[in-house]
A and B are shown apart, each in its own frame.
Chain A
Amino acid sequence: MTDPKAYLSHLELGEKDETFLDSNELIINMGPQHPATHGVLRVVLKLDGEKVLGAECVIGYLHRGVEKIAENRTYTMFNPYVDRMDYVAAVSNGLGYCEAVEKLLNIEAPARAKYIRVILTELNRLTSHQLWLGTHALDIGAMTPLFYTFRDREEILKIFEKYCGARLTTHAFRIGGCQYETYDGFERDVKKFIDEVPPKIDEYEELLTTNRIWVERTQGVGKISAADCKALGVTGPVLRASGVKWDLRKAQPYAAYSDFDFEIPTGVNGDTYDRYLVRMEEMRQSLRIIRQAVERIPEGPIMAKVPKVIKPPVGEIYHSIEAPKGELGYFIVSDGSTQPYRVRVRPPSFVNLQALDLMVRGQLVADVIAVIGTLDIVLGEVDR
Chain B
Amino acid sequence: MQPVATTFFFYFLSGLTLISAVLVITRKNAVHSALALILGLIAQANLYLMLYAPFVAGVQIILYAGGIMVLFLFVIMLVNLERTQKEGQFNKQWLVGFLAAGALGVLFVAVYLKGKDLFPAFAAAPVESNNTQLVGDMLYGQYMFAFEIASLLLLVAIIGAVVMAKKRI
Contact = CB atoms under 8 A, between A and B. Distances in A.
A51 B167 CA distance: 13
A18 B169 contact: no
Contacts of B83: 17
A363 to B, nearest CB: 12
A19 B78 contact: yes
Interface string B70-96: 000000001110010000000000000
Interface in A22-58: 48-51
B168 A19 contact: no
A8 interface: no
Interface in B117-169: 168-169
Nearest to A21: B78
B79 to A, nearest CB: 7
A19 B82 CA distance: 11
A51 B169 contact: yes
Contacts of A50: 169
A18 B81 CA distance: 10
With a 10 A CB-CB cut-off, give which of A19, A48, A49, A51 has the most chain B CB atoms.
A19
A19 B169 contact: no
- Main SS class of interface, B: loop
Nearest to B80: A19
A309 to B, nearest CB: 65
Contacts of A18: 80
B169 A17 contact: no
A21 B78 CA distance: 8
Interface in A140-193: none
Contacts of A51: 169
A332 to B, nearest CB: 50
Interface string A50-81: 11000000000000000000000000000000
Contacts of A48: 169
Contacts of A19: 78-80
Contacts of B78: 19, 21
B80 A17 contact: yes
A136 to B, nearest CB: 26
Interface in B21-62: none
Contacts of A17: 80, 83
A25 to B, nearest CB: 13
Contacts of B79: 19
A17 B169 CA distance: 23
With a 10 A CB-CB cut-off, give which of B78, B80, B83 has the most chain A CB atoms.
B80
A17 B84 CA distance: 11
Contacts of A21: 78
Nearest to A18: B80
A19 B78 CA distance: 8
A50 B80 CA distance: 21
B85 to A, nearest CB: 14
Nearest to A364: B169
A49 B80 contact: no
B19 to A, nearest CB: 32
Interface in A278-334: none
A87 to B, nearest CB: 39
A33 B42 CA distance: 45
B78 to A, nearest CB: 7
5 contacts: A17-B83, A19-B78, A21-B78, A48-B169, A49-B169
Given A17-B80, A48-B169, 6 more contacts: A17-B83, A18-B80, A19-B79, A21-B78, A49-B169, A51-B169
Interface of A: 17-19, 21, 48-51
Interface of B: 78-80, 83, 168-169
Q: Which 3 A-B pairs have the closest CB atoms?
A: A19-B80, A49-B169, A50-B169
